[in-house]
Structure 1
Amino acid sequence: MVRRVVTAVSGTGRSVISNDGELRQVPYRHTPGFAHSLVWTTGAPPVPRADGPGEPPASFVPGPGETIAMTVTFPPDSVFGDPAFDPVAAAAENVKHNPGLADLFEPDAPGMHTTPTVDYVVVLDGTVVLELDDGATTTLHPGDLVIQNATRHAWRVPSDRPATIFVVLMGHAR
């Protein structure tokens, strides 16, 4: 689990911790090992607030000036090659848990998608491979950072253990 600490300004103008606790993780039944935790969202323009992220957004693709922060744990690629893996059920579950974002995944290129966002990505745990157009890849390790500029990409985990990233998606004018 990931612990989230949120600061705010009290009624007397003092800095305070308004929320300190573990984030709820949404596990995926049809893709074992895949999960995400919604860390925070902001509207446009972003304004400070002290409450939690609230209900999941109607779309996990933020509009211009909006942000979404979340952790994502990717299972090893071997999960997708397992004969018990049901890609139709997994896709439906992805649509349920990631509305808007799941719609951007390409049916003919598993995992590939293009988001109309600028994303700041930090690898927290494990090894993950960022794949871009034409099969170009780079291998990322804990502490590595990626600035993903509205490009077509996929995340792969070729090892035998999951990998977790923290990502802030920022919507931009389309």
Structure 2
Amino acid sequence: MNKIRRIVTGHTEEGKSTIVSDAEIDGVSISTGKHFIQLWGNDSIPVHPDQGVMSPNLDWFPQGGGHRFFVWVVPPQSQKENERKSKDEIEQLLPGFLKHFEPDNPGMHTTDSVDCTYLISGSIVLELDDNQEVELFAGDSIIQNGTRHRWHNRGEIPAVLITTCIGSQRHN
């Protein structure tokens, strides 16, 4: 999955609905088989009528009030990782992505967002604190409320997921 067709609607100056764009969106790979395609996002609450334009230069995860919509692919753990991007390359491809990850605990991360995820194909394990795990299968969904977590694909095929992240605020 290297590209996905994205159709965006918006409004004309007269307030009529219209197709603003119809394009194929390229994804990025950060290691062998680990692929991300950001389809939409903004860092503010949408106001309509609008022109159907995505904000430029967005961090991967949204700020409070913002949102992201993306597809991502996690290869099976058994798949050999032949190529892995450097931290600088990942930061360039997925701005702000790595700052949410724990440097001493690979894969574990926390975001200030509500993540609504649907597993399209494959299976994947979500690990939370205290090694609590739940396995998801194609057709399952999960709502994460700013929880610390990491993902494991212990299956035989890539897991393909689609997520909408809604930026939230964290009170400590």
TM-score range, shorter chain: 0.7 to 0.9
**Does the 8 A contact of 2:117 with 2:162 survive in 1?**
yes
> Partner letter of residue 16 of structure 2?
R
Q: What is the CA RMSD across the aligned residues, in angstroms?
A: 2.2
Q: Which residue of the other structure, out of 74, 84, 94, is the alignment partner of 2:90?
A: 94
* 5+ residue gaps, structure 2: none
Per-residue CA distance 1:94-145 (angstroms, 9 max, x = gap) = 3332232311212222111011111111112221211111221111122221
2:32 is matched with which residue? Answer: 32
2:67 is matched with which residue? Answer: 67
State the alpha-carbon separation in 1 of the partners of residues 64 and 119 from structure 2. Answer: 25
- Tell me, yes or no, if structure 1 residue 4 matches structure 2 residue 10: no
State the alpha-carbon separation in 1 of the partners of residues 123 and 81 from structure 2. Answer: 24
Q: Which residue of the other structure, out of 163, 167, 172, is the alignment partner of 1:167?
A: 163
> Structure 2 matches for 1:9-158, cutoff 5 A?
9-28=11-30, 31-48=31-48, 49-51=50-52, 53=54, 55-57=56-58, 59-79=59-79, 82=80, 84=82, 89-158=85-154
> Partner letter of residue 64 of structure 1?
G
State the alpha-carbon separation in 2 of the partners of residues 56 and 24 from structure 1. Answer: 16
**Does the 8 A contact of 1:113 with 1:153 survive in 2?**
yes
Per-residue CA distance 1:38-73 (angstroms, 9 max, x = gap) = 11112322235444535441x223211111221111
TM (norm. structure 1) is 0.82
Whichever structure has more helix as a proportion of its residues is 1
State the alpha-carbon separation in 1 of the partners of residues 98 and 34 from structure 2. Answer: 14
* 5+ residue gaps, structure 1: none
**Does the 8 A contact of 2:68 with 2:166 survive in 1?**
yes
- C-alpha distance 42-71 of structure 1, shift in aligned 2 (>3 A): same
State the alpha-carbon separation in 1 of the partners of residues 81 and 138 from structure 2. Answer: 30
| Offset at residue 90 of structure 1 (A) | 4.6
Q: How many equivalent pairs are there?
A: 167
State the alpha-carbon separation in 1 of the partners of residues 43 and 114 from structure 2. Answer: 16
- C-alpha distance 9-52 of structure 1, shift in aligned 2 (>3 A): closer
TM (norm. structure 2) is 0.83
Report percent identity of matched pairs: 33
Per-residue CA distance 1:7-55 (angstroms, 9 max, x = gap) = 1122333222222222211123xx1011111111123222354445354
SS in 1 for 2:149: strand
**Does the 8 A contact of 2:32 with 2:82 survive in 1?**
no
**Does the 8 A contact of 1:46 with 1:67 survive in 2?**
no
